Amino acid sequence: MTNSGEQILRTEYSEIMQKSYIDYAMSVIVARALPDVRDGLKPVQRRTLYDMYELGIRYDRPYRKSARIVGDTMGKYHPHGDSSIYGALVVMAQDFKYGLPLVDGHGNFGSIEGDGAAAMRYTEARLQKITQEAYLGDLDKDVVDFVPNFDATEKEPSVLPVRIPNILVNGAEGIAVGMATSIPPHNLGEVIDGVIAYMKNPDITTEEMMQIIPGPDFPTGGIVINKDELLNIYETGSGKIKMRGKVEIESVKGGRERIVITQIPYTMIGANIGKFLNDVYSLVETKKTTDITDISNQSSKEGIRIVIELKKGADAENICNLLYKKTRLEDTFGVNMLAVAQGRPETMGIVKIIRHNVQFQFELATRKYTTLLNKEREKQEVQEGLIKAYDVIDLIIEILRGSKSREQVKKCLVHGETKGIRFKSRSSEKTASMLRFTERQANAILDMRLYRLIGLEIEALIREHDETMYNIEVYERILGSRAQMAKVLMKELKELKKEFSVPRKTVIENAAAAVYEEKAPEVIPVVFMMDRFGYVKSVDTAVYERNKEAADSENRQIISCMSDDRICVFTNTGQMHLLKMTDVPFGKFRDKGIPIDNICNYSSSAEDIISVFRLADLTGRKMLFVTKAAMIKLVEGAEFDVAKRTTAATRLADGDEILCAGIVQQEDTLVMQSEKNYFLRIAAADIPEKKKGAIGVRGMRLSKEERLAGAWILNGENNPVTEVQGKEVVLNRLRIGNRDTKGVKR
């Protein structure tokens, strides 16, 4: 026990951590990341809009600085930093992200190409008309509950009285703890029609609903190409929507054509437009296509326009299919219609979302018309009191003149108490004792101005009373019948549709999968070159012949091959890396080329290149491997014709590495030199043939801890010479000895 009477509870640490994390996760889910299914807004969006409403920044009033809105929202309702508030404000003003922007932004609020908005001190904003009318319009009618803000100094609405399914119209994106939401935007007019259809038939199926709401309507337009899959997506609330940009093929002078992209997939908004341009550049650089001559982004405030120029005679349709397959011109929108419903996250299909919204609309309407009815009844009570007072106005004036205080008059009017009041006659006092006005009527009489006694004013009062009685009748009829209330709601929705709906932008259809018929590239003789720094390139054979002397002196590897060949790179670690000539840049003699690391798995920091061969040259021939530990073997060249980009060319013992790797003929010989300058020359025919996975056999007997210093393959064409202690050793003059012997000293 502590001094203050508090008790220390001993519990498992993991239980506290688990409970704390669950509390944190639910806080993020419900109070930050996921929208409420009723108004389709996250807390930061709801608070920002409500603050603008409170500040009076209406659609028909001047813009106000965004910094003022952000600061006020943060100080009163959302103490989580200004960046999240301004970020929400910016997104709600972007017509390329929201199908129905809720904020009217003035200034730089970013662009579809990914440009960020200007700082909040430079931009201004105000509410859109529909936001004011359909999102905030009934807040003064007690339609939603107000809750204390974070420090209990202000009140904020727990939900906004939104009259349309905003969660469908504008969609939603959010990442919570362990879950995420991704709801596509839809067309306002279609969604309103869907709500009306549900009100008429609560048992409507998803299939019937999709006759009215056929699918998403993205602000960027584009084409949804998997129409048949949408039914399952909207039934379950999750799935993948496949989208394509809208492409037009234009003819230009010279008989050429160009591809013009006028609408992009919704997922390409922002930096992905730049990535798309880079992807097209890459297709040209990697020779995936040679038909594209230029690409330019001509987009402006009027809309998207990306132009791809083609060669004369190019197949434009085929190039479009290539763009669909290799770039984000065709993309996927992952749907997960997750929202907070009745205080907990739930994944819902489209009908269930509309059901929640309709229930919310009936709750709002019930509270709204109950409030209006109560106000009309209060007006009725006052009006009836004033009309009744007009008939006895002389008596009331007599009471006023004979009384000493307001309370005395009020008691007389309400309870008929005449004590202490001077009357002109006994009959007046008797009549006064029979008065029975209500408290509210008595206050209204006492507050009444004398001009209300004019005859025309009384007539106006009677007309007001008739109007009040009519309103009471209407409100009681609405509250007394769900069908009548639905009729009123449907009328309001139709008015919103008439004023604010826009034509659909996104086309929905079933499209065949993109099939790109890749033209076989022209196969030509080229020369592969690799310089001492590991940069590789290929040039035309004629270019090489013209620059042969410079090429031979500047490059460590030169191989004549075909443009579709594969090159084998053998390294000291026993690995073989396959390099496709199609990946090697083809160009001019003085082009730098690219690092070999970039186009194969070779790592210049971890291994050294021993030899490089054309794969076709290995077919039908044998590769000889010599290691520093004097292990040797022959491997059939066909074993290196593999699909992998990297394979083990030979097996090595611990601490061993490849010293020499080359192609040998039956009549060739191998010379090995030890660190102590012993030389051994053996016939290639004496070297056993093994598989890649074998270590091999001992080629030369070495003393303890001695290793090979060199190894040479001798054939009729080469006559290598090495130097030992200042003396030349002509290798082809060495006598041929037996394998696994010590050799001769030089």
Distance CA 542, CA 550 (A): 14
Residues 6+ apart with CB under 8 A from 224: 215, 216, 230, 241, 242, 243, 506, 507, 508, 509
Residues 6+ apart with CB under 8 A from 162: 38, 39, 40, 41, 134, 135
Distance CA 731, CA 317 (A): 63
Helix (H, G, I), strand (E, B) or coil at 576: strand
The CA angle 483-361-474, to the nearest 5 degrees, is: 45
Rounded to a whole number of angstroms, the distance between the first and last alpha carbons of the chain is 93
> How far from the centroid of its chain's Cα atoms is residue 732's Cα?
69
* SS3 sequence of 177-245: CCCEEEECCCCHHHHHHHHHHHHHCCCCCHHHHCCCCCCCCCCCCCEECEHHHHHHHHHHCEEEEEEEC
Q: Which residues of 245-263 are buried (b: 16+ CB within 10 A; e: fewer)?
A: bbbeeeeeeeebbbbbbeb
Contact 589, 549 (CB under 8 A): no
Instruction: Extract the tokens encoding 63.
Output: 């813009």
* SS3 sequence of 669-727: EEEEEECCCEEEEEEHHHCCECCCCCCCEECECCCCCCCEEEEEEECCCCCCEEEECCE
Contact 496, 489 (CB under 8 A): no
Per DSSP, the residues of 479-515 read HH-HHHHHHHHHHHHHHHHHHH-----SEE-B-PPP-
> How far from the centroid of its chain's Cα atoms is residue 301's Cα?
23
Distance CA 529, CA 616 (A): 17
Distance CA 180, CA 91 (A): 18
The phi-psi region of residue 114 (left if phi > 0; otherwise alpha if psi is between -120 and 50; otherwise beta) is left
Q: Which residues of 472-503 are buried (b: 16+ CB within 10 A; e: fewer)?
A: bebbeebbeeeeebbeebbebbeebbeebbee
Distance CA 64, CA 92 (A): 16
Q: Which among 21, 122, 281, 470 is annotated as catalytic?
A: 122
> Quick one: which of 62, 22, 221, 38 has its CA closest to 135?
38
Contact 432, 403 (CB under 8 A): no
Q: What is the Cβ-side half-sphere exposure of residue 383, based on CA atoms within 13 angstroms? A: 19
Residue 122 bears catalytic tag: yes
Distance CA 622, CA 642 (A): 16
Distance CA 614, CA 718 (A): 20
Q: Enumerate the active-site residues.
A: 122
